Structure 1
């Protein structure tokens, strides 16, 4: 039976937190603010200790919608159509460079791999960027509405994406082409997770509150579970370990994966976030979890089920 997670510490950032990652003993949070009068978006890149004490906060001229970490670098998705690459120096974020993907659009999610990063855009496009050259290799008009999410397979040759048009698609990275599309959600596809050591097992989450398990070979849904909120992000831990589901207004769930296409089991919940849970991460040793919600500006450190 699922139990409510034990909260260890709370923090209130100055701006609404949109995305959260852990880097060793640091927590890095990207924030997003929209000025309703001017429609200008700005934000910050904040660095916290493992106990959620603020170490530094760097204002950014555009809002941050996603934060990722790969090979010693921090990648952020910006509201002005760019991807920015940072490094941590003495607990402060230092900007190395910015790559323009498309001017005037929002970069909604990014996924870095060696030498490249995939990005989904508010135009519905999916982009593949060479980070060494700072150039867009290809860009596909895959979705008719916002492209919310993407993820690579283990070989990094197949890229999956999901959009507000309820389309789940797969691209061949080498050719820059969409190989197939399917519609198995009743609303927008907002999260994708390829299960480690079982690349044929794909989890997708959507605005329809469902986590759906798909066979990547046959492209058939094998089952689904209602998580009580739009499944915005899926964050795995160690292989075969629990997975965090950020369920927006439904709070947070900790899922225990099962073998193959068997549906996961909800083993933990966190319902005291009073706004949309957009971000979460595991501590480096997986002994703690962190999560953030938007309008109430709440960041929490909690203990997962034992």
Structure 2
């Protein structure tokens, strides 16, 4: 595949999250979240460090390749963001996880992000960071969010007309719970991964008695990303500091169906929206890689690498429209070089093995 850089943006703050809007009529919009450490981080000195951030709202024109910054908002440091899924949502809804232990809901209205609701998950106010989140979209009722944090806890939150309501919270991992996701094929199941190297499966049907279904101990380092594939039933992909991308059948988690080494530790895994069996992976200390999955899910290989970024590759996502099948567009961002890129991806022969 051929990757061509269309835009390079200095984000001013360290960039770690990119999310294209999935809603109809808003596919051209995406957000970029940042995390900037300010002050002294030593416990023995004061004042303590401040984790500040910024969310940028951009609009990309796929016909002209023009990129326009529409809006920016100062926030606490951003760790993760996700748009509410579902193509026919009337107003695009964005959830953000920040360094104050909060979940924040924004609405995209008139090219601006308007803050609507805030829920603080840090009940003890001990410098909790909300690290990751995922939506479960319910077209006929309340929408749910699963969130993970720096204490290793997992929280289930309902979002509806009354705002954000905490439903359940429990201690899951011994160290940071880096990642969490709903099972796209069974919304009563969630997957979580932590710095303790464990991948857990939980049944959340009874909020007061969440049940651990399985414990996976195959990762050799912290589990940093989990993807329940939206078009491949019961397929779960994981990324780890051990640099391996793995495919599991979520019904039989004992042995992966396939794995591939990508180098650098895998922070994000994003499926393409044109059903080409492609994954965009943010490999922290190496690059952004595009991986091809076989139709039977038993083989993976890296077919392209994007090396424009130089220092901790964190944020990655595909442009969400399926209208243009001649090419795909991706956005990527990296931390210490404070860089956001928008790139074109076209078929031009695969990388030789």
For the aligned pair, the TM-score class normalised by the smaller chain equals over 0.9
For 2:319 and 2:230, the matched residues in 1 are separated by 19
Q: Which deviates more from structure 2 when the two are superposed, residues 270-279 or residues 97-106?
A: 97-106
Alignment correspondent of 1:144: 174
Alignment correspondent of 2:15: 17
Equivalent positions of 1:157-306 (< 5 A) are 157-175=188-206, 176-219=210-253, 220-238=255-273, 239-285=275-321, 287-306=328-347
- Verify the 8 A CA contact 1:66 1:77 in the aligned structure 2: yes
Runs of 4+ with deviation above 6 angstroms: none
User: Where in structure 2 are there 5+ consecutive unaligned residues?
Assistant: 22-26, 41-47, 61-65, 138-142, 323-327, 348-353
Cα displacement (A) at 1:4: 5.8
Matched, 1:55 2:70: yes
Alignment correspondent of 2:107: 87
Q: What is the TM-score when the length of structure 2 is the normalising length?
A: 0.82
Q: Aligned residues, how many? A: 303
Secondary structure of the 1:202 match is strand
Match of 1:121 among 141, 146, 149: 149
Matched, 1:101 2:121: yes
- Verify the 8 A CA contact 2:259 2:300 in the aligned structure 1: no
- Verify the 8 A CA contact 1:158 1:170 in the aligned structure 2: yes
- Verify the 8 A CA contact 1:4 1:269 in the aligned structure 2: no
Distance 1:174 1:241, change over 3 A: same
> Which of these two proteins has the greater Rg computed from alpha carbons?
2
User: Where in structure 1 are there 5+ consecutive unaligned residues?
Assistant: none
For 1:244 and 1:216, the matched residues in 2 are separated by 21
Matched, 1:5 2:3: yes
- Verify the 8 A CA contact 2:2 2:345 in the aligned structure 1: no
